Amino acid sequence: MPQALNSAERRRFETLSKDAPVKRVMALTMEAHAIVKYRMEGTFNNVLSAAHNEALCRTVGLFSWIALGQKSGRYVIDLPTGCGKTQSLTAWIVAVHRLGLDTSVTVATSQVEELAKIIRDLESLGVPREKIGLTHSKKHCPLRATAFLAGEKWNGKDDPLEDGRYATEPVTEGNENRPFLFVTHQRIRNAAEDGNRENLFMGYKGKRRDLIIWDEALYSTAPMAATMSDIRSGIGAIRPYLPEALPGDKLALAEEYLSICDKWIEEEWKRQCDNQAATELALPALAEAEVEAFSAVISNKLVTEGRQWSALQMLLAASGQKLELRLAKMGDAKGALISYRVTIPPSLKDVVILDASYVCSQLIGLDKTIKRDEWFKEQADSGVYLKTYENVTAHFAKGNSGRSSMEEAFEKRKANDFPSKLVETIKAIPDHEALIVFTFKNRSRKRVDMRAAILAELRKAGIDTAAQLDGKDRISVLTWGQHTSRNEYSHCSNILFAGVLHLQDELLLAHAVGQSGELLTPLDGRFNVQDIKRGEIASALYQAMSRGQCRFTADGKAKTMKVWLVHHDEKIKAELEKVMPKLTWADWKISNDREASKVEVISLQIMAYLRSHTGPRVGNKTIKAALNLQDISPSTFKRATAATEAPGWTAQGQSFVRTGTAESFGFDIASTGP
């Protein structure tokens, strides 16, 4: 019986028949809660606080209310990582089976192996395999699966699954008759483009499934964007080839079409500069044959993985209203064409989203179809934390952490640079402690492979990268994309970040507009790109940190862990504390800080100034005034001038003199006679 009822309500509750909807909901909820509580405390050795225990009950209760038809909508539950999200959905499915209910659910996660682990867990708890469906696009080999689950090699390879090409569980048939279906997020997203696919994961015995449980953040749209500068530089890049083209050939026709588009964009830019509302860009219609021909001829002239090609592709896709576009003004000089596509079909209405980082993400908050569970909101508003992180220490350094900065740091090694500091930090971690390093995926053969470079640096320093602790890797170097839905690294008590992943500003803005559901929505304070970016970065960092042992919870506190993070924005600390309350901060001193970046920028400005200067000598004070650098500290400016290597100029005292002049040889022309 619900404990929150008063005596009169309890009497009325008792008079209801056992088949009354509310009693069926409560029976399922209580059974599921008993299972998840027992497993959290008995199997996983968690010490549950009163608030944590109630949160688990509320979670399985929401599953029950929606699945049994007493509630409808998309709801998000922001239960912290390691507090029983997966265990709650597992317990609820077990309860449905034990009570003999013909209730159906689709469970979606980002990784096939996460689904496979849940399926094996359900089977161990007595749920028959014939009730469980699984669909994915990977290969399955029973021998490989056995080797992987035993932690053994396969034909000499460390990874029997070959980096995700194989799955440990096979695809099942007859899923329309299996009440518990497991799919990946991508499988559901594909249905947004092809409605016929929706029945593959929503059909059950000729009707729709009762519930979808979605693990991690649910973004209902995917962004597309191209800056005006990329569009114009793309058009400019193909124009030099026009003299070689015959009149009316494909390249000339493509350039003619793109020039019309450019003119329309320019007119819209002027309108918005006059404070007029944005309008949808209606670009000239193209036939399919024209789109194919123009794409082919343009791709022959541009690097197809570059920004210019992507920008022009977007224009071609928008021809004839195949893609809706708007121009978004992003300041006085920058603008971008933005659009989005829907990735979660609007027909999917009964969804529970288990998203631990919800409070960080302004993108999710812009989605009007998603509501936060009221109890979780009330707890947060009243300052009640289900989990605190005072046992987690984050060592923070202010510095550049984007992909380009990190790749450059590993390509152009300098004394006391970030790679050296990373190695030094790892070397100081005791041998009995495991660690994870997060970095970027390799995106091009022309650029450094960050993961391989980090492992090489560690081996060069004499660190055993193949060492194991209790049969598990001591050192794991993971790439962004592996920072969610993976729990096999929970033995790691140290997390280091060699780079922080984030989307480009124009893509973030497009994503925000898409989440709002209105292409032409006014770009008011909700769409502050820097705030949105900060929230998404904090969300990703939190998920990555939660791969380590801080995911474990004892009496409302995260287990002890250490983190090392470099990022340019100190405001990220406050953002992280939204999802990691009472997080402890410490300094991490590294050399590639913002000051070094500032010196480099000023040095480039000095070089550009000297290139245009006509006299034989120019003083540093003159340069500083000309470049409007009076607010720069003397030490920073001194370092910038020392770093300046301008062709044809030599630094001399507090000046630069032109190479080959009398001044450059030390003669004072002003005091020398004829």
351 with 451, same domain: the answer is no
pLDDT of 667 reads 46
Q: How crowded is the C-beta side of 50, counted as CA atoms within 13 Å?
A: 2
Q: Is residue 39 part of a domain?
A: no
562 with 425, same domain: the answer is yes
Q: Is residue 49 part of a domain?
A: no
3-state secondary structure of 439: strand
Task: Report the C-alpha gap between 500 and 289 in whole angstroms.
Answer: 42
588 with 453, same domain: the answer is yes
Q: Is residue 19 part of a domain?
A: no
307 with 241, same domain: the answer is yes
511 with 415, same domain: the answer is yes
CB within 8 A of 233, min separation 6: which ones?
A: 308
CB within 8 A of 216, min separation 6: which ones?
A: 109, 110, 185, 354, 355, 484, 485, 543
For the domain that residue 554 is a member of, what is the CATH number? 3.40.50.300
Phi/psi-derived region of residue 184, left when phi > 0, alpha when psi is between -120 and 50, beta in every other case: beta
pLDDT of 596 reads 55
605 with 571, same domain: the answer is no
pLDDT of 674 reads 37
Q: Is residue 498 part of a domain?
A: yes
What is the domain extent for residue 213? Answer: 72-136+171-218+346-381
Domain boundary among 566, 592, 618: 592
414 with 548, same domain: the answer is yes
Q: Is residue 459 part of a domain?
A: yes
pLDDT of 336 reads 96
CB within 8 A of 561, min separation 6: which ones?
A: 391, 392, 393, 493, 494, 495, 545, 548, 549, 550
Phi, psi of 400 (to 5 degrees): -75, 135
Give helix 418-428 / helix 403-411 axis angle, nearest 10°: 90
Q: Is residue 13 part of a domain?
A: no
Query: How many structural domains is the chain composed of?
Result: 4
Task: Report the C-alpha gap between 468 and 484 in whole angstroms.
Answer: 23
Q: Is residue 43 part of a domain?
A: no
3-state secondary structure of 357: coil
The pLDDT averaged over each successive group of 10 residues in the chain (674 residues) is: 52 70 92 96 85 94 96 96 94 98 97 95 98 96 93 85 93 97 94 83 96 95 94 92 83 92 93 94 87 91 84 85 85 91 92 95 94 90 90 94 89 73 96 97 86 96 95 94 86 97 94 96 94 96 96 88 95 96 94 61 89 88 89 83 84 83 47 38
Domain boundary among 592, 614, 648: 592
pLDDT of 593 reads 47
Domain boundary among 559, 592, 625: 592
Looking up tokens 């576009």 gives: 325
556 with 574, same domain: the answer is yes
Q: Is residue 201 part of a domain?
A: yes
536 with 633, same domain: the answer is no
Task: Report the C-alpha gap between 634 and 558 in whole angstroms.
Answer: 46
421 with 544, same domain: the answer is yes
396 with 470, same domain: the answer is yes
Return the DSSP state at 51.
H
Phi/psi-derived region of residue 344, left when phi > 0, alpha when psi is between -120 and 50, beta in every other case: beta
Tokens representing 52 are 């944590």
The pairs formed by 196-203 with CB atoms below 8 angstroms and a separation of 24 or more are: 198/345, 198/347, 198/348, 200/135, 200/175, 201/106, 201/135, 201/175, 202/106, 202/348, 203/176
pLDDT of 542 reads 97
Count of Cβ atoms closer than 10 Å to residue 342 Cβ = 14
208 with 327, same domain: the answer is no
Q: How far is CA 205 from the centre of its chain?
A: 37
